[in-house]
A and B are shown apart, each in its own frame.
Chain A
Amino acid sequence: MAEDAASQVELMTIVANGQPWHVPRESTIADFLGQLALTPGRVVAMLDGTIIPRERFAETRLHEGCRLELVTMVGGG
């Protein structure tokens, strides 16, 4: 998140795929993906250990300190 935006929007820190990220409070998973400009095909999320299917990204809110895992398919044997 750019610093000038931080003065206007209250931010919180989440841990996404092991890294800290600053996101506006009340963000949903869909908002966070939008912030990253990610529109992945098949992605599934795990929020604090609970699996969230893609259909629920827009309604699932993140919270301070939450742990988000965004998972996709990669090549494998």
Chain B
Amino acid sequence: MTEDLLTIGSRTFRSRLLLGTGKYRSFEEMQQSLEASGTEVVTVALRRLDLSQPGQPTLLDYLDTERYTILPNTAGCKTAEEAIQIAHLAAAMGLPRWVKLEVIPDPDYLLPDPVATLEATRQLVKEGFEVLPYINADPVLARRLQDAGAVTVMPLGSPIGSGQGLLNLPQIQIIIEQARVPVIVDAGIGAPSDAAFAMELGAAACLINTAVAQAGNPVLMARAMKLAIEAGRAAFLAGRIPRRPQAVPSSPLTGLVGSPS
């Protein structure tokens, strides 16, 4: 069997778990969690440098950029223009010319703006970026983004950090069914069972942050997520049995002991 690789745009990976670097209790815990997860792609945000505390340890002191491919996000951007600017800043920083595009005007549910996301995708694709848009699970939007040149679509299972699992399941299934690019389930995954389920349904990968970073033991949870994603992917490739309304015995119905015939 040939190796089962994940291709996102021009980049290819073995791991199907993309991991966020936010909300860990310490940089050390983050570092160990990344290690345990087997991830090859980690997301980062761009923010103002803290000028009041020079010499403080930063994320970069703990992130092996030779080992992990950095995926900059545009978290915090409320408009297409802001998101495009962050993509430009990330590129100027020397990061790979790809971006997890988030345009989120709504602070309560952190739901992305579909119109601004499509606008920003078109512009960034024109500029040569590989765009990974974070979207609500809208199959029509997913198709429009693919038409615009997005290298993946990343529907949310449920709101960011909510841990509610795959509430948008039927729409995610339609997106996967119609997709011409890998579909990455991003946001809402709370437990390994959510991640495994997404993968069983044919998601190409999962992007997870809070469920690992805020777990009681993040390092152990990172490993659990890795195993869940591997199990879910294997199950998808293996092909699950159909659901039936009635039971089907697993043991032979003939040759029953003491039967008259």
How far in angstroms is the closest Cβ of chain B from A65?
A: 18
How far in angstroms is the closest Cβ of chain B from A24?
A: 17
Distance A30 CA – B160 CA, assembled complex (angstroms): 38
Q: Are A51 and B22 in touch, CB under 8 angstroms?
A: no
Of the four ranges (under 10, 10 to 19, 20 to 34, 35 or more), the interface on chain A belongs to 20 to 34
Report which of B21, B75, B93 forms a contact with A71, defined as CB distance below 8 A.
B93
Q: Are B75 and A72 in touch, CB under 8 angstroms?
A: no
Q: Is A5 an interface residue (CB 8 A)?
A: no
Asked if A73 meets B46 with Cβ closer than 8 Å, knowing A36-B51, A36-B54, A38-B51, the reply is yes
Report which of B30, B72, B161 forms a contact with A75, defined as CB distance below 8 A.
B30
Q: Is B248 an interface residue (CB 8 A)?
A: no
Among B110-137, those with CB < 8 Å from A are none
Residues from chain B with Cβ under 8 Å of A46 in the complex: 89
Which residues does B use to contact A, with CB under 8 Å? 20-24, 30, 43-49, 51, 54-55, 58-61, 63, 70, 72-73, 75, 88-89, 92-95, 160-161, 187, 207, 209-210
16 contacts between A and B (CB under 8 A): A36-B54, A40-B49, A42-B93, A44-B93, A46-B89, A52-B92, A71-B49, A72-B46, A73-B63, A75-B20, A75-B21, A75-B23, A75-B30, A76-B20, A77-B43, A77-B161
